[in-house]
Structure formats: structure tokens, C-alpha cells
Amino acid sequence: MPRFRGSARRTAAVLASAALGLGVCTASGSAAAPAGRSGPAPLVWSATAAGAPPGGNTVTDAGGTRLAGGPPSASARTGERTGIQDLPAETLAAPVGSVGAELDADIPAGARAAADVRTLRADGTWSEWTEIPPDAPATLPEPSATVQARLVLIAPEGAESPRVRGARFAAGPAVAATAARESRAATYRLFATREGLVGGTTANGHVIVPRDHFVALPSRKGLAGKGTGNYTVRVCTENLARCEWAPVWDVGPWNTKDDHWNQPRQTWQDLPLGLPQAQAAYSDGHNGGKDGFGRRVANPAGIDLADGTFWDGLKLTGNAWVQVTYEWTGGGPVGTVTTSGIPLKVRTGPSTATAEAGFAASTAQVRLGCRATGQSVSGTEGTTDAWYLLESGKYVSGAYLRVAAAPPAC
């Protein structure tokens, strides 16, 4: 966890300035270098929980942010409550490559609090969230002058919540180039289970409704904020006949720190890329057949699908193997689905007369292959004859898609 101060239950062993290597804050977003230290000084800023917008599964008052009442995260089923509060994005004087944090928080025994950070990419999309580790800065996935942090609060069900009053951050300069992202997003074969749990609350604070459209992955690195879709997966039947583009709104199943689509991954680094730990535990006895919480793994699930995604998007009748693409890991033009909440139908051609081949959920951020001219349609983004190819043989109307930069013509 990041360093803590002002806590009646937990006291930092080292002052924040020493733990983060901070100088003395001088003016907005800058700091003076400490004595005896050479090189660029870190950029420093502070945020108070009271100054941030309301978060998922949290409440904020004069005493800070704490977990709201209610059930634990629906999918992970760990007996824990999770709350997230996004802090305002910061635009710094120069691109940075690392961020350290100090939280002003009270942390009861058994509870946890952390800060995650992400960067804004040149194409207007966000990198994955990276947890700031104990006593050290987090290395950012991509250098950027615009960064955003969020607070994460976790407590066992029935236990007292952490309370976070604010945070102080220090960003270090970008010192080396990072590897370019692949233009094509990563795709892996996973076992999918149906989440259900209508009326429950997801890790980002969304209350699950009947025939809902979202997914859960076993890591919060790709967890989108409530009502947003900047972390979206394309999940398809094994034969690719039907697909749904759905936002990641929950954490699970089984594990909560298993970003199996990354290399290196946050945990279980002995496993190959793309293999969820739960699948390895179920099929090969990894970790004695248990997940990260010591529970016997009863199925190899690496993704949970909300009921609407499961029944309506993919037309599944039981748990099944699916093809999952992590849209944010690739490059290229993007569009955001802007329906009034219902999913957008995906068609086999640029016309409503063609067959339906799945859905793109409201708020989903989708990669655009090319732009085709087809049937004129009126929707939330006006009237247009533009249709966008998402995947071979799968189109959506531009009338319900907010597009930042148009892709080439098909």
C-alpha cells in the first residue's frame, strides 16, 4: 500500500517526503529538489476526497471517503466490500514516467486502501490502471503529461471501513521510451460463466439490473468507472457467429489481481500469458487447485458475463468457452456507443435489413476498422449513412456512435 499518515491505527514508519523522495512543494504542480539530490525534481500535487466526485460504493463527508453500506462486490464473491473514487485528472508541466503516493487515511485492522494511477494516451484513450506499490512509485505503462489517480477502499464484509481524507502524489520524469502498443488488441479463449445477481452492486458501484450488459474480469487494472466504457471487451462465441462489445464493470470471478492478458502480470507470473489462474487451478492443479483466496476452484472461469450479455448478446444457454478481446490493449480509431442505455444492435452489413450478429453495449468504447456508406439512420448522434466495421462481417450505425477520429473508408 502507499504510505499513510494521520492514522490512529496505522502510522507510517517514514515521513512522506522521505518515502516518496519529495522536495518541498513550491507552486502548482512543481517541487524544489531536496538538498544533495541532482536531476529534475518530481512534480507534486494533492487531492482531497471531498473535492472529488462521488465514487462507486463510497460515501464522502467532512471526515473523508469511506465504503458505503450494502453487499460486497457481486462477482468476486470474496466476502469483501470494494469502493472506488476517481480523483480529478492532472495535467502536468511535462510527461512523467512514474507516480508515488501518500494517503491521509485511517485503516482499521483487516481493511486496505490503495491508490491506482493511469495516463492519457496521444489518441485520447487511457492506459490501464496501475496500483501504486508500498514504499515506491508506480512505473506508468506509457509516459504522459496527463495522469489520473483513484482511491480504492477494501474491507471484509461486516468490518469497519477505511477512511481516506486525501492523497499527495509525486511524479517522476519519463526517462526511457516505452514499447509501442500492438495495433491489434490481445484475444484469448476463456471459460465464461453467467454473473446474474440482479440487484447486487458491482465493484464500480453499478447496481445490476435484469438483462444487464457488462462483464467482470479478475483484475481491477481494466475496471471502468460507473457508467463509462473506456475499458471494453469484445466477447464472442467460439465460432465468432455472435459478439458483444461490453464494458468491464466488475472484478472477478475467483481472483481480483489476475490480469492474465498482461506480460508481466500483477500476480501468478509463473503462468503463461492469457491463461487465467482459475483455469490453471481447475485444469492443472495450480496453487493446489485453489484461487488467491485459498478457495477450491469449482470451474475454470476467467470472465463473468451479465445476463443480457450472456443470454441476448451471445445467445448462450449455459457456461461456455468464448473468445475475449481486450479492446484497450490495441490501437486505432475508437468510437463510444451513446444509446439511451439499451445495447446497439450489431449487423452483418451496413443496413438494418441485414441480420443481427450481436450487440455493442451502451457506453462501450469500440475499435473501428473502417467506415462504410449504407442505410441512413437517425439516432443520438444525428442522422447519418455512415456505418463502421468493428470486426469481419460486423457493423454498427454511426447514428449511435461518438467518433473522435474517423477510420479510413472500407
What are the tens digits of pLDDT across the range 58-106?
Answer: 988 888 999 987 655 555 566 778 899 999 999 999 999 999 999 999 9
Rounded to an integer, the average pLDDT of 118-142 is: 92
Give residue 70's region: left, alpha or beta (phi > 0; psi -120 to 50): left
Under a CB-based contact definition with an 8 Å cutoff, are residues 84 and 150 in contact?
Answer: yes
What kind of fold does domain 3-173 have according to CATH?
Answer: Jelly Rolls (2.60.120)
Residue intervals of the chain classified under CATH 2.30.30 are: 334-403
CATH of domain 187-329: 2.40.40.10
Least confident range from 4-8, 212-216, 258-262, 273-277: namely 4-8
Average pLDDT for residues 141-153, to the nearest whole number? 93
The pLDDT value recorded for residue 77 is: 64
Output the pLDDT for position 31: 33
77-106: burial string, b at 16+ Cβ within 10 Å, e else: ebebbbbbbbbeebebeebbbbbbbbbbbb
Per-residue DSSP letter, 409: B
Model confidence at 177, pLDDT cuts 50, 70, 90, reads low
**Closest alpha carbon to 300 in 215, 188, 191:** 191
**CATH annotation of 334-403:** 2.30.30
Query: What number is the average pLDDT over the span 210-236?
Result: 96
Does 118 score more than 80 pLDDT? yes
40 vs 180, more confident: 180
Give the pLDDT of residue 346: 98
Confidence of residue 174 (pLDDT cuts 50, 70, 90): confident
Mean pLDDT of 5-12: 39
Considering only residues 307 and 176, tell me which one the structure prediction assigns the higher pLDDT: 307
Task: Say what percent of the chain tops pLDDT 90.
Answer: 70
Which residues sit opposite 304 in a β-bridge?
193, 216
Q: Are 387 and 372 within 8 A, CB to CB?
A: yes
Q: Would you tell me how many other CB atoms lie within 10 Å of the CB of residue 355?
A: 10
CATH 2.40.40.10 in the chain, residue ranges: 187-329
- Which part of the chain is CATH 2.60.120? 3-173
Q: Are 94 and 145 in contact (CB under 8 A)?
A: yes
Instruction: Taking residues 234-249, report their average pLDDT.
Output: 97
